Amino acid sequence: MKKEHRILADYLKQKGLKQTYQRFFILDKFLAAKRHLSADELHAMVREQNPKIGFSTVYRTLKLFTECGLAKEVNFGDGRARFERAIDRSQHGHLICANCGKAEEFTLGSVEKTIARIASRHGFKIERFRFKIYGLCKKCR
Amino acid sequence: MKKEHRILADYLKQKGLKQTYQRFFILDKFLAAKRHLSADELHAMVREQNPKIGFSTVYRTLKLFTECGLAKEVNFGDGRARFERAIDRSQHGHLICANCGKAEEFTLGSVEKTIARIASRHGFKIERFRFKIYGLCKKCR
DNA sequence: ACTATCATGATAGTGATACTCAAAATCAAT
DNA sequence: ATTGATTTTGAGTATCACTATCATGATAGT
């Protein structure tokens, strides 16, 4: 059993929720994706193999993934939430192209100490942070 | 004449747009605000003294301010765009409280070099960047 | 003052997200 | 395996922020 299936299964049990076919099917599709997906885009992928699964279910399931730490919601300013894998991934920022809309990632190792220092100076308790650079990617510039 | 009025007036002239009462009235209200405002919130402030001014005008005028560099659009993840002054202000990030929703600011001086380095490594042309830390502020923690 | 053009403000439209509910699925207890 | 309580699903609808439309009104050059 995949690590991510285990995490989802445990979370469902802990919360008294049910292990449904849809939830694990959507999880597999989500993990297979290479890009940052919106609920709409993931639904399109899911529906290719499984046209019965509705948008609502995909949408709610993505929220569920976010709750149990399997996914992170990211927002690139185009008015639709996107989701990315959040297991076994180091902190990273996004380079978002204004032309093609694709998002590259960059590691944040060198910035993390700075972030911690800033927060403590303001008496602020960090839950999470987002670092985004908007501009033009190599291809589009 | 205020510096910001000058900037707006020049921009309007350059673009062949008209100098209207509303545009300058909204600008004054915008500049007087201490917080990060949404179009809705600014409209509420404007309407106190001037109930005739509609939401559409406030909304469009904020876009106009953004075009001419008087304002910046920021998004704190609550699904509504907010605007902040952008003249004579150094680059800064935001500390956004998950409880009260208020946003403090922090300076980014030490991070800017890092950002430039990251971008050049990816062949990415920076237009702008956003650095946001979500968590609990001093009061709410 | 006249006229072309732009701006305004009310209304309606759009798209993403969130809610509702009847029918179906899950799961613990028998 | 059957039952029954409870959750989930999927379709439809509602809501919210934002955007477009358009008739009326304001602006600015002549």
What are the beta bridge partners of residue B96?
B103, B134
CB A53 within 8 A of CB A46: yes
Closest CB to A75 among B77, B93, B115: B77
pLDDT of A112 strictly over 90: no
Q: Which two tokens stand for residue A25?
A: 């099917």
Q: Which residues of A touch B127 (CB under 8 A)?
A: 98, 134-136
Cβ within 8 Å, pair A134-B129: yes
Going by C-alpha positions, the residue among B86, B90, B54, B47 that lies closest to residue B67 is: B86
Q: What percentage of chain B reaches a pLDDT higher than 70?
A: 100
Mean pLDDT, residues B47-57: 97
3-state helix, strand, coil in chain A (%, to 5): 45, 25, 30
Nucleotide nearest to B17 (CA to C1'): C6
Same domain for A53 and A20: yes
Which pLDDT value is given to residue B111? 86
Mean residue pLDDT of chain A comes to 95
Q: Does the nearest atom of strand D lie within 7 Å of B53's Cβ?
A: no
Give the pLDDT score at A84: 97
Report the nucleotide nearest the CA of residue B57, measured to C1'. Answer: C8
Residue B39 CB lies within 7 Å of the nucleic strand D? yes
Q: How many domains does chain A have?
A: 2
Q: Which CATH number characterizes residue A105's domain?
A: 3.30.1490.190
Copy the structure tokens of residue B92.
Answer: 């800064």
* B33 and B76 together in one domain: yes
Q: Are residues A98 and A79 in the same domain?
A: no
> Residue A141: its pLDDT value, please?
86
Q: DSSP per residue over B98-110, as a string?
A: TTT--EEEEE-HH
pLDDT at B1 over 80: no
Q: Is B138 within 8 Å of A131 when comparing Cβ atoms?
A: no
* Residue B43 Cα, gap to closest chain A Cα (Å): 21
Residue B61's contacts (CB-CB under 8 Å, 6 or more residues apart) are: B22, B23, B26, B27
For A105, the domain range is: 92-135
Residue A104 has pLDDT above 90, yes or no: yes
Same domain for B60 and B96, yes or no, is no
Average pLDDT estimate for B55-59: 98
Asked whether residue B110 carries a pLDDT value surpassing 90, the answer given is no
Residues B115 and B47 in one domain: no
Q: Are B56 and B29 in the same domain?
A: yes
Rounded distance between C-alpha atoms, residue A27 and residue A6, angstroms: 11
pLDDT in tens, B18-41: 999 999 999 999 999 999 999 999
A140 located within any domain: no
pLDDT at B117: 92
Q: The CATH number of the domain where B35 resides is what?
A: 1.10.10.10
In the DSSP assignment, the letter for residue A26 is: H
Q: Which of B106, B129, B138 is closest, CB to CB, to A118?
A: B106
Output the pLDDT for position B69. Answer: 97
Nucleotides of D under 7 A from a protein CB: 7-12, 16-21, 26-28
Q: Using a 7 Å CB cutoff, list residues 34-53 of A near strand D.
A: 52-53
Instruction: Give me the pLDDT at residue B141, please.
Output: 86
pLDDT at residue B112, as a whole number: 87
pLDDT in tens, A84-98: 999 999 999 999 999
